[in-house]
A and B are shown apart, each in its own frame.
Chain A
Amino acid sequence: MERETILSVRDLDVKFNLRGRKLNALRGVSLDLYKGESLAIVGESGSGKSVFVKTFMGLLDANGWIDGGSITYKGDDLAQYRTERQWLTVRGKEIAMVLQDPMTSLNPLKTIGAQIIEAIELHQGLHGDAARNEMLSVLTDVGITEPERRSRQYPHEFSGGMRQRVVIAIAVACRPKILICDEPTTALDVTIQAQILSLIRNLKAKYDLTTVYITHDLGVVANVADRIAVMYAGDIVEIGLCEEVFYEPKHPYTWALLSSLPQLGVKGEPLYSIHGTPPNLFYEVKGDAFAPRNPQALKIDFVKRPPYFDVSPTHKARTWLLDPRAPKIEPPEAVRKLATEGVKGYA
């Protein structure tokens, strides 16, 4: 199936300057985002998930910069954008974002209504009563009852889940093409998480959005994603359709990640955890970044960085295991179990 690419990233390098030392936060990441899809980017803390999506909007911290590669959106290379003026044509208008912590992502001194209207005035060109009505309808869309009264209230009068709805309302009020959700449910309690996820899903359909989730919660992924990209040490090591990554993972890091799902553990046994720590990105990483933590790493993993090998037209992974010359190494038992039985609540 041919799909329309909305955003295309090629060999993106991002570096940070930390007290004179250079950190390679992203090491040649490539990704095609398809129109209307829902992509989840998973990976542990520090793997570069957030940095990666921030580059789409020019929101890197002041000490970070794009060192190479391209981000093509509507024929423009966003990686070449330098001025705030250029970025303002993208932020909100084309790509909007939902942040992780709703408790802090609203301005405490402005009413909910004013904060949504700010986005509407910027991106829909409505003012006065028209903007107000639009604001009320967006509030209704995100499931806030009595929008008239609620819009005059301040963030501290809202609960966490309600605030996240408001944050989503602000993002949607920008009428973006792409919605990035940076760990949208991490700060919420479990009962609210499902509501928020289904809300985002409904809005995606209603406003014809392409959504990108960043998360380390595989439960969220299974719920919302069409495709999964697994990031490790500043690179996407495996990407494929949700079922492909869950049931036929190819990269040893994906295996390790799935094995550490608590639901796959055996009662009484210690929970699987990945040994060691991620590589120090202050240095050039040689070979496969995951090799030092992989007990079954091949010799070549330490020498040469693997290319992407296609598993299927939609599924590819960066591991030498997929090379025809590689020895056959079976995924761990937990992963095989997942493939045959599935896990309650997952996929």
Chain B
Amino acid sequence: MMNYIAGRRMASIRKRGSGRGFDNSMLKYCVKRLASSIITLLIIITVVFVLLRQMPIEGYFDNFEKADQATINAKLEQLGLNDPIPVQLFNFLKNLLKGDLGTSARYSVGAPIAQIIAKKAPVSIKLGVLSMALALIMGIPLGAAMARGKGRFWDKFGTVFIVFINAVPAAVYHIFIQMYGTSFLGISMLFDEANLVTWILPVFSMALGNTAYYAMWLRRYMVDEMNKDYVRLARAKGVDSRKIMMRHVFRNAFVPMIQYIPTSLLYTVSGSIYIESLYSIPGMGGLLVDVIGRQDNPMVQAIVIMYSCIGIVGLLLGDLLMGMIDPRISFVKKEGAR
């Protein structure tokens, strides 16, 4: 899970100093962090690119079986596939900078990949943003209620919910939600972008996983914080328990959560294979699996690179957000400081 990797990254952030707000040191840090992200991305692109060159060349033809040797050679020459790999990589990167991801070879012959994605992305993004918002709206109050009434109703209810979501394969409850949900709402099984009622079930289904995830971690972090001395001191100075929860516990518990959110948002908007196929939503969810199945090499390459990008941007945003809300994280290197 990328989320865990995001957690790891925390350790690399310096925990000292006092640079606050978007000042010079923060800008410097952003630039540095961006540079290292770009290097990571370049490495990923290189690896993906080189690996895909090892794939059979059928992946560049829509009619490989019927083509004769001369046609094949001509096509390979035209695509530049006979060049040495470094040259190919350089050309690919050059095109990438222009926003050209290449053309599809088998999935939708000759169509620019960027166009295919642009056509499919909007609906996935809309669904993803909505489901993410719903997950936050449901997950955060649930987690907070669980932490507050530890061992009482909401805690038990939430625990059952979290265990259910994590233990039961998603396929099972998604199908039940679709079956009973559609008959309850009196709508057809399939998604229709124009009919807003049909958005409810896919968004809800997609939100369930993240809801459980946020509730679980928020509860855990809040319970951790509640046992800390500063909460004891706040109680001793006469702050009531509701304010302690809101002003002190929640905010501290939210620091470690905040860095997961961009990553999970980006993964959510990149579409859910299962939900999209269940409701036959014309989104991006199944695209990668689809093009791998069809051995469309240029598209596999483009989509894998796109997902890597999403992951890297998510981590970057997570780090920056953390830095903005936690004053202990500094963006300046302190020479000689402990």
Contacts and interface: CB of A to CB of B under 8 A. Distances in A.
Contacts of B326: 108-109
Contacts of A214: none
B228 A104 contact: yes
Given A154-B18, A154-B327, A101 B238 contact: no
Contacts of A118: 234, 237, 239, 247
Contact of A105 (B233, B239, B240, B251): B233
A84 B252 CA distance: 23
Contact of B238 (A122, A153, A157): A122
Interface in B196-241: 228-230, 232-241
A174 B238 contact: yes
Contact of A101 (B18, B229, B234, B247): B229
A93 interface: yes
Interface string A212-245: 0000000000000000000000000000000000
A194 to B, nearest CB: 23
Given A154-B328, A157-B18, A108 B239 contact: no
A84 B238 contact: no
A210 B14 CA distance: 43
B325 interface: yes
Given A88-B238, A91-B238, A107-B248, A99 B328 contact: no
Given A154-B18, A156-B327, A156-B328, A108 B238 contact: no
B20 to A, nearest CB: 9
Interface in A77-97: 84, 88, 90-93, 96-97
A123 interface: yes
What bracket does the count of chain A residues touching chain B fall in?
A: 20 to 34
Nearest to B228: A104
B315 to A, nearest CB: 22
Contacts of A119: 237-238
Interface in B297-338: 325-328
A101 B326 CA distance: 21
B233 A84 contact: no
B294 interface: no
B114 interface: no
Contacts of B229: 99, 101, 104-105
A39 interface: no
Given A118-B239, A123-B238, A59 B232 contact: yes
Given A101-B229, A104-B229, A106-B230, A122 B327 contact: no
A107 B252 contact: yes
Interface string A99-118: 10100111111100000001
A167 interface: yes
A170 B233 CA distance: 9
A171 interface: yes
A57 B229 CA distance: 16
B48 interface: no
B148 interface: no
Nearest to B231: A107
A79 B230 CA distance: 25
Contacts of A106: 230, 233
B126 interface: no
B226 to A, nearest CB: 11
Given A106-B230, A107-B230, A154-B327, A97 B236 contact: yes
A104 B236 contact: no
Contact of B235 (A59, A104, A108, A156): A59
A109 B255 contact: yes
Contacts of A97: 233, 236-237
A96 B241 CA distance: 17
Contacts of B233: 97, 99, 105-106, 167, 170
Given A105-B230, A118-B247, A156-B15, 12 more contacts: A57-B236, A88-B238, A93-B238, A99-B233, A99-B236, A101-B229, A109-B251, A109-B252, A109-B255, A109-B325, A123-B238, A174-B238
Interface of B: 15-16, 18, 228-230, 232-241, 247-248, 251-252, 255, 325-328
Closest 3 CB pairs of A and B: A92-B238, A91-B238, A104-B229
21 contacts: A57-B236, A88-B238, A90-B238, A91-B235, A92-B237, A93-B238, A96-B236, A97-B237, A105-B229, A105-B232, A106-B233, A107-B248, A107-B252, A109-B252, A109-B255, A119-B237, A122-B237, A153-B18, A154-B328, A170-B237, A174-B237
